Each structure stands twice: as C-alpha cells, then as structure tokens.
Amino acid sequence: MSVRIDYNKVAPAGIKALGGVYGYITQSGLSAQLVELVYLRISQINGCAYCLDSHTRSLLKMGVKVEKLAVLQVWREAEALFDDEERAALAWAETVTRVAETAIPDDAYEAARATFSEKQLVDLTIAIGLMNTYNRIAIGFRNPPQAVVEHSAAAA
C-alpha cells in the first residue's frame, strides 16, 4: 500500500485546524486514557491501521495492560476489565460512529447521560467525531502505520 497524498503537506492549515480540536479535547477534563481507549475502539470499527497502531502504542505507554487492549473489540464480553465510565464511553462511541445504522437511539443517549455530564458528553462526542475524521483521512490517503514504516526501513 502506498501513500496517495501526504495530507500534512497538501493541507497543513486543515490538519492544524483538526489539531486545534484535538488540543481542545486534551484540555476538556476527560481522562486521557478514556479518550485514547475510545479513539482505539473507533479505529477498530473503521479499520484504520494507522490509528490502530498509534492509539495502541499510546495506551501501552499509559500503562494499559495488553490483555485489556486485546479484548477491546469485544469489550461487552469482557466488561469486567472496563469500568463504568469506559463501558459508557465505548457504547456511546460505537453508536455515534455507526450513526447511519443506529440513528443514535434515545436509550443509547440516556445510558450515556447516566454516566456523563452534558459537557462531558458533548466533549466526548466531539472527540468521537474527530477520530472518525482522522480515520477517514488516514484510510483515504493510505497513511501507513508506524509499525509498517519501521518494518520497511529495517528491511531496506
């Protein structure tokens, strides 16, 4: 797979604007680990290799155990590994990411509101939208994961 467009070079102002939203999320008060976990789950849903690699690395650096990351895709079956806030955030991330299928039903909203304040839920939804945008950019323009870049460099 080869890069289609280096979007960082072609549209640096647009990517910088997305970075501003990312910066907002980092100072929003949401737990960094929670946000990274949500980013990883969204990237699993969307199949973004670049983001899967990036967020897995970040979560491992934060001390999240590999066992937890290994079952993230089926977190409902391993819910004992996830706290209430993580389960609520993951469920919300899934329904918002799959909006065309789910239409984000009232029961999903009520479940999220039972855990998060209005501001937290809005901030979490902004983070979800941001990661979906990053996934689409990375997949669309074939941004390779760091692991692939490192492997190719070692093989050369």
**For the segment 92-118, what is each residue's pLDDT rounded down to a tens digit?**
999 999 999 999 999 999 999 999 999
> Does residue 18 fall inside a structural domain?
no
User: Containing domain of residue 68, as a range?
Assistant: 31-155
Mean pLDDT, residues 125-140: 98
In this structure, what CATH number is given to the domain that contains residue 114? 1.20.1290.10
Looking at residue 111, what is its pLDDT? 97
Q: Distance between CA 143 and CA 101 in Å, rounded?
A: 27
Mean pLDDT, residues 29-58: 98
Q: Where are the beta strands (DSSP E) in 11-144?
A: none
> Does residue 47 fall inside a structural domain?
yes
Place of tokens 């979490």: 124
Angle at 36 between CA 18 and CA 97, to 5 degrees: 70
> Does residue 134 fall inside a structural domain?
yes
pLDDT, mean over the chain: 96
Q: Give yes or no for residue 156 having a pLDDT over 80.
A: no
> Does residue 108 fall inside a structural domain?
yes
Q: Domain count of the chain?
A: 1
> Does residue 57 fall inside a structural domain?
yes
> Does residue 8 fall inside a structural domain?
no
> Does residue 147 fall inside a structural domain?
yes
Query: Per-residue confidence at 2, pLDDT binned at 50, 70, 90?
Result: confident
Class of residue 131 by CB neighbours under 10 A (exposed 0-12, middle 13-18, buried 19+): buried
> Does residue 42 fall inside a structural domain?
yes
What does pTM read for this prediction? 0.94
